[in-house]
């Protein structure tokens, strides 16, 4: 029996969710974005948040990856 995907994080925009999905996919974690925005044709009609789903067995690793600071947020050294 396969388990249903779980929400790892919710975002205010599809763009932010897709960036997070890309980070997870780069780490080998399959992720899916779900948004109620008319299939992307009318993003301004989005109601609610955009959910990012992963498999239950990937949840802890996905949360760890998403909690890491992005390279752009890291201050350069001396």
In a domain, residue 53? The reply is yes
In a domain, residue 45? The reply is yes
Task: Say whether 43 sits in a helix, a strand or coil.
Answer: helix
Q: Residue 49 burial by CB count (10 A; 0-12/13-18/19+): exposed, middle or buried?
A: middle
CATH number assigned to the domain comprising residue 14: 3.30.70.1530
Given this model, what pLDDT does residue 12 score?
Answer: 87
Domain count, the chain: 1
In a domain, residue 20? The reply is yes
pTM value is 0.76
**Can you give the pLDDT of all 78 residues of the chain as single tens digits?**
568 999 999 998 888 999 999 999 999 999 999 987 665 566 666 566 899 999 999 999 999 999 987 655 556 666
């Amino acid at each position: 029996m396969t388990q249903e995907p779980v929400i790892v994080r919710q975002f205010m925009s599809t763009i932010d969710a897709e960036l997070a999905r890309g980070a997870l996919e780069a780490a080998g974690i399959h992720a899916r974005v779900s948004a109620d925005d008319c299939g992307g044709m009318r993003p301004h009609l989005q109601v609610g948040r955009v959910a990012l789903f992963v498999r239950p067995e990937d949840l802890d690793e996905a949360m760890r990856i998403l909690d890491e600071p992005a390279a752009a947020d890291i201050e350069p050294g001396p």
